[in-house]
Amino acid sequence: MQGFPDNRAVSALFRVFGGAGSRQLGEASRRAEAGALHRAEWLFFSTAVPLMILVAVGEGLVKGLGPIWGGLLTLPAAFVAWTIFPFVVGGATAVWQWRRWLIVLTVWAVWRRNAGGIIGAFAWGWLGVFAVNLIAMLMLAWRATMLWKGKAGIAWRMVIAIVLHGLALVIGLRFGWGWALLTGASLSSLWCWGVLSPTSQWFGPMRRRLDDDRVLITIDDGPDPRDTPAMLDLLDERGLKAIFFVIGEKVRAYPELAREIIKRGHELGNHTLTHPQATFWCASPWRTRREISGCNQAIEEITGVKPKWFRAPVGHRNFFTHPITAGLGLEIMAWTRRGYDAVSTDTPKILQQLLEGNQPGDIFLIHEGTPIALDVLKGVLDGIKAQGWDKEPAKF
């Protein structure tokens, strides 16, 4: 599930497929009213709805009065209809107005879909608009349920898993087990993408970049007795702050390092209790909660600070991660720049991947506890200094 931007659209169609939209004059005063301020949406519906009304009115007049008088009266009659239509349909807000317009025009389109000619073409075109809007509504509904937290969110996801397995079983009984296998394989592929893609938001939202023009350094897998002190010194020299995503067991093993990170003005993030990088993606809700709450507990006991951020091992969240993190008050953070420094020792190539084509708002992922950790951090710091992004710490 990808995150849909707050693009000020009133229709599900443009909320999902309309992109970010452009900001308009007067938006600051209209935004709180949920006014229709998505420019592409406004242009589309201010054209499509009048055209549909024109076609519907014109068809009725031509049939009733003949092609000459009906054709002459179509435009003025449509103009009257355009004026009256919003009052007849009603709707207290722009959202409800759009929904009612959609229903009324869809009823007409279903009725006239087999009319043929231009009438049939417009009817089928509007049915296409309705279908895309319905898909968008389902996507928004899915996104809303993926925000449920705690036990309610876990229970809902278990229901989804049971229903989908049941669907494959029913297909197998009805059409044969080859189709059941194909259905299961397709659903499993989608599920794997949702949990294994580090930037996928199918199963819940995450922070993927900053909202301003600065950049943020995040450091995973600590604290480390060799790297952490040296990394802290490097960051102090540049006057930059970072988020250290720490492993709970290491926090207990090196409590002074965890406290030193806080003392130097940096932030500790939750990176699970034991860092089960090979199995976290398929962990049960009970194991997932133990890993996340266990790391939270270790950080709070050692430093007295409650973490605000969570990052899964290797970025592989599982199906139950989001309701658990949300229930614990944690927000999930991903990244935009990754050099694979935990699996490679080719420092120039790693730095190229991290620094080439940087954009404002980038979140860097680097690791400690590797042979090249200090070289990578120093290279990143030099790179962002050269690009002018080291003037003040990022806010997080």
Tens digits of residue pLDDT in 148-171: 999 999 999 999 999 999 999 999
User: What does the DSSP assignment read for 124-171?
Assistant: HHHHHHHHHHHHHHHHHHHHHHTT--HHHHHHHHHHHHHHHHHHHHHH
Among 46-55, 150-159, 215-224, 316-325, whose mean pLDDT is lowest?
46-55
pLDDT surpasses 60 at 9: yes
> How far is residue 302's CA from residue 270's CA, in Å, rounded to a whole number?
13
Type of residue numbered 352: Q
Look at residue 30 in the predicted model and tell me its pLDDT. 46
Region 313-323 average pLDDT: 96
> How far is residue 206's CA from residue 221's CA, in Å, rounded to a whole number?
20
Class of domain 216-386: alpha beta
For residues 268 and 305, the answer to whether their CB atoms sit within 8 Å is: yes
For residues 210 and 361, the answer to whether their CB atoms sit within 8 Å is: yes
The answer to whether residue 220 is catalytic is yes
The answer to whether residue 165 is catalytic is no
User: For the whole model, what pTM was predicted?
Assistant: 0.83
Choose, from 211, 212, 220, 236, the residue flagged as catalytic: 220
How distant, in Å, are the alpha carbons of 84, 273, 292, 364 from that of 217?
A: 57, 22, 22, 5
Nearest to 210 by CA among 393, 377, 73: 393
For residues 310 and 270, the answer to whether their CB atoms sit within 8 Å is: yes
Q: Which residues, 6+ apart, have CB-to-CB distance to 106 below 8 Å?
A: 126, 127, 130
pLDDT surpasses 80 at 352: yes
Nearest to 372 by CA among 394, 337, 395, 339: 339
pLDDT surpasses 80 at 8: no
Query: What size, in residues, is the chain?
Result: 396
> How far is residue 50's CA from residue 174's CA, in Å, rounded to a whole number?
46
pLDDT surpasses 50 at 34: no
Q: Coil, helix or strand for 336?
A: coil
| Boundaries of every domain in the chain | 12-143, 148-196, 216-386
> How far is residue 203's CA from residue 193's CA, in Å, rounded to a whole number?
10
Choose, from 341, 346, 367, 375, the residue flagged as catalytic: 367
Sheet with 337-338, edge to edge strand ranges: 331-332, 309-310, 267-270, 242-246, 216-222, 363-367, 337-338
